[in-house]
Amino acid sequence: MENQGLSIDLSGKTALVTGGTGKLGAVICKTLAKCGANIGIQTFSQIDKAKELKNEIESMGCKAGIVQADVTKQEGIEKIKQMMTDELVMPNILVNNAVIQYDWLSVLDQPLEDYVSQFESTVMHNVMMVKAFVPEMIKQQYGRIVITNTECSMQCKIGQSAYVSGKRGLDGLARILAKEVGEHQITVNQVAPGWIIDESKEENDKGYIAEVPLNRRGHAEDIANAVAFLSSDLANFITGLYMPVAGGNVMAAI
């Protein structure tokens, strides 16, 4: 008998990806679609890019829906929920990837509003998404939640205070959520990317690469592959995980 090997099959599943038109988010959407999932795409402002991504996903034979909404506001979450109800179905895979970006400054120089917006786009974004979509997962007794964190949560380098404070708060939320919803066969895991390559920029990364055991930077596809794995039944006994996808630049300790 021929050995077919393992494959990631998300046929019949529906994934909702926030921040779906960003450089990482778009690759996550396409990767999950390649595995057979239908995709709900949230974008804050890039509606034209969302339409292009929707067409590309549909060309793969999957369904796709798009919504322009603010994930830091309750009305934005309700708008996303309405789109999923009208155009697809309630998701059984939730990929919370959206985050607000800003200049990194010292604690003394970082504006107070940056700390607030970071908390809103990490912790509150996830809390509101969970409240909106997990009850249906509980009814189904099945669900996958994959949250984008960062290697910076372990590094805590100069200038990262607002970003890291939000992401470390998110880590606590994710771990507690994993314990609370586990009995319903819902897994909650975090993917923590390293500094991924941006093909559109020339970046001085030699100092960074020198610290990475694999001696290179990763690609968005590396992160998306980890998301696909954690979204699949291959990972059905993994929950509460903080998974660095950073070439060994950070290593979660026991």
> What is the distance of C-alpha 130 from the center of its chain?
13
Helices 125-140 and 74-87 cross at an angle (nearest 10°) of 40
Round the average pLDDT of the chain to a whole number and report it.
96
Sign of CA dihedral 58, 62, 68, 70: negative
Nearest CA to 18 out of 60, 79, 61 is that of: 79
Average pLDDT over residues 142-162: 97
Beta strands per DSSP E along 28-89: 38-43, 64-68
pLDDT digits 0-9 by tens, 53-62? 999 999 999 9
Average pLDDT over residues 133-161: 97
Q: Is the pLDDT of residue 1 over 60?
A: no
Q: Is the pLDDT of residue 89 over 90?
A: yes
Q: Is the pLDDT of residue 135 over 80?
A: yes
Q: Is the pLDDT of residue 200 over 80?
A: no
Residue 71: CB atoms within 10 Å: 24
| CATH 1.10.260.40 fits domain 14-245 | no
What is the structure's pLDDT at 217?
96
What is the structure's pLDDT at 3?
56
Q: Is the pLDDT of residue 242 over 80?
A: yes
- 145: tokens are 């939640």
**How do the domains of the chain map onto residue ranges?**
14-245
Average pLDDT over residues 210-238: 97
Whether 163 sits among the annotated catalytic residues: the reply is yes
Q: What are phi and psi of 84, to 5 degrees?
A: -60, -40
The answer to whether 218 and 168 have CB atoms below 8 angstroms apart is no
Question: Out of 102, 115, 142, 163, which one is annotated catalytic?
Answer: 163
